[in-house]
Amino acid sequence: MERITQLYKQQTGQVPKSITPLAGAGSNRRYYRVCGEEGQPPLIAVIGTHPEENEAFIAWASFFGKNGLPVPELMAVSADRMVYLQEDCGNTSLYDYMVAGRNSDGTYNAEVVDVLRQTIKCLPLFQFSTEGNSDPDEVFSRCYPQQEMDRTNVMFDLNYFKYCFLKLRGVEFNEFKLQQDFERLADALLAEQGSTFLYRDFQSRNVMLKEGKPYFIDFQGGRRGPIYYDVASFLWQSSAKFSDALRGQLIDEYLKALQPFKSLSKAEFLPQLHLFVFFRILQVLGAYGYRGLWEKKAYFINSIPLAITNLQKELALGTCDAYPYLKEIAQTLIVQNEQEEKSKAAEDAKKAKVTAYLQNDTTYIPQASLPITGKGRGEGLLHVNVFSFSFKKGIPADESGNGGGYVFDCRSTHNPGRYEEYKPLTGLDQPVIDFLEADGEILTFLDSIYKLVDFHVARFIERGFTHLQISFGCTGGRHRSVYSAQHVAEHIHKKFGVEVYICHREQNITQVLK
């Protein structure tokens, strides 16, 4: 925080009134909104962890800014080049703006489509910003980790798919045959050479909307490369669920914007574009395998079927025909996905029956108005004890004599305690709550727990049981466990009307919800 304060004061002559952490993305960079006196526009402070990556961003931000491209203005850079201040483009990303359409299977209204058109029309401006430069090699020397998309780069991504997706999915394959098709695919992808800028991460999460206009961020991974890659990345983002018709419209917009730089008809453009779509799907599946199948992050696991659907469409178009063994692997993945979808549908049907039963069950009436007959062991109303604790200090004892209940381990979720600004706070403090909810892992974690405890509480009420204990543990019993215990306790009290005793043991905080 001290470094941010010093840089802000150096830039504005003021001491910041507040420095608020913002949710991070996939990197280790940390973001903060810095506010000064009233009337002073807020700025975004970024603390990087890798000097060369920071230098790449600073260099490209300056380059794009000088060329009039819509990127946040770079305001100040620290002497060690590890902290910088930039223009604040607000809180709404294009990905956020698209939420209603994404949740409606890709049905987007006219306003969202208009922003999508604005966004893709900007892409050629970035791609050809380096054209005509007297020394293109000097321009691309600022790239990190490499200056161009080359064969090594392609093979890294294809092997990512092989080892982080195929292996983790248990797909059997012939290593030699697969490598032969990888080599042929690399040849085709790298057939066109040029000096265009490949954004590398051109997707809706990296477009911020300020006063209705798109601003572009996170371009520090850019390098020299073919124009098709970014179009494929943007239009075939799995979670966007763009229809083929909308993709066609946006490709038309892109080709119109491309005309001042390079004249390509749609018939010339599409075959090579679909080759990059195929490549991007393999690359994305590799990421989903690592983040989902290996790290067990639900968002990436849930995105796998969407990517497989895109893969199936490319097979139908004949994109994979020149790579017969890769096509065979893709067909295996499609069959595997269909089988999993059938199993999931059957499981969902079972869950729906349980839900329907519970929704029609009198156990969902708040206990204040529910007659308890004592047909189980207990003769009174149910009391729920919810604890947060540190595993270092042991699991809370169940003093009721029941000897049952749940103990949940929160240590799989992102830990705010790793960051200095959150260490003195607890899971009851708003900055920690904002951090955990923006990160999202804790919400996915609790989603399953709500369903589990709902079923348990309902049955205990029905059977006349009087005690249930639920405990949440983490490393220090300060952040994640406190957040989880508090939210589950409030959820149970609100849904069932039962008395809930909350004890945040390591914080010496107790509360009774009656």
The model's pLDDT over 39-57, given as tens digits with 9 standing for 90+, comes to 889 999 999 888 899 999 9
Residue 83 and residue 109 in one domain: no
Final residue belonging to a domain, choices 286, 313, 343: 343
Taking the C-alpha atoms of residue 164 and residue 336, their distance in angstroms, rounded to an integer, is 17
Q: Are 316 and 188 in contact (CB under 8 A)?
A: no
Instruction: Say what the pLDDT of residue 1 is.
Output: 80
Q: What average pLDDT is seen over the chain?
A: 89
Q: In the predicted model, what is the mean pLDDT of residues 309-323?
A: 95
Q: Is residue 356 part of a domain?
A: no
Give the strand order in the sheet containing 18-22.
Answer: 18-22, 30-35, 43-47, 83-87, 74-77
% the chain with pLDDT above 90:
70
Higher pLDDT, 55 or 136: 55
Q: Is the pLDDT of residue 379 over 50?
A: no
| Nearest C-alpha neighbor of 254 from the set 242, 265, 241 | 265
Burial of 95: CB neighbours in 10 Å, binned 0-12, 13-18, 19+: middle
Q: Is the pLDDT of residue 364 over 70?
A: no
Instruction: Say what the pLDDT of residue 248 is.
Output: 96
CATH of the domain at 318: 3.90.1200.10
Q: Is residue 357 part of a domain?
A: no
Residue 245 and residue 280 in one domain: yes
Residue 115 and residue 66 in one domain: no
- Please count the structural domains in the chain: 3
Residue 13 and residue 76 in one domain: yes
Q: In the predicted model, what is the mean pLDDT of residues 495-505?
A: 91
Range of the domain at 6: 2-87
Q: Is residue 349 part of a domain?
A: no
Final residue belonging to a domain, choices 22, 52, 87: 87
Residue 400 and residue 329 in one domain: no
Q: In the predicted model, what is the mean pLDDT of residues 407-427?
A: 92
Q: How confident is the model at residue 350 (pLDDT cuts 50, 70, 90)?
A: low
Instruction: Say what the pLDDT of residue 352 is.
Output: 64
Residue 419 and residue 494 in one domain: yes
Residue 319 and residue 370 in one domain: no
Instruction: Say what the pLDDT of residue 446 is.
Output: 95
Instruction: Say what the pLDDT of residue 26 is.
Output: 54
Residue 177 and residue 237 in one domain: yes
Per-residue model confidence as pLDDT tens digits over 190-232: 998 788 999 999 999 999 999 999 999 999 999 999 999 999 9
Q: Is residue 351 part of a domain?
A: no
Q: Is the pLDDT of residue 430 over 60?
A: yes
Instruction: Say what the pLDDT of residue 136 is.
Output: 66
Measured CA to CA in angstroms, residue 476 lies from 392, 410, 422 at distances of 7, 11, 13
CATH of the domain at 79: 3.30.200.20
Q: Is residue 26 part of a domain?
A: yes
Residue 368 and residue 493 in one domain: yes
Instruction: Say what the pLDDT of residue 234 is.
Output: 97
Task: Give SS3 for 425.
Answer: coil
Instruction: Say what the pLDDT of residue 359 is.
Output: 52
Q: Is the pLDDT of residue 398 over 70?
A: yes
Residues 6+ apart with CB under 8 A from 362: 370, 462
Final residue belonging to a domain, choices 87, 115, 131: 87
Instruction: Say what the pLDDT of residue 100 is.
Output: 92
Q: In the predicted model, what is the mean pLDDT of residues 262-276?
A: 95
Q: In the predicted model, what is the mean pLDDT of residues 365-388?
A: 56
Q: Is the pLDDT of residue 265 over 50?
A: yes
Residue 305 and residue 383 in one domain: no
Measured CA to CA in angstroms, residue 132 lies from 128, 135, 137, 146, 256 at distances of 9, 8, 12, 21, 20
Residue 274 and residue 126 in one domain: yes
Q: Is residue 8 part of a domain?
A: yes
Q: Is residue 312 part of a domain?
A: yes
Q: Is the pLDDT of residue 480 over 80?
A: yes
Q: Is residue 240 part of a domain?
A: yes
Residue 77 and residue 107 in one domain: no
Q: How confident is the model at residue 466 (pLDDT cuts 50, 70, 90)?
A: confident
Q: Is the pLDDT of residue 305 over 80?
A: yes
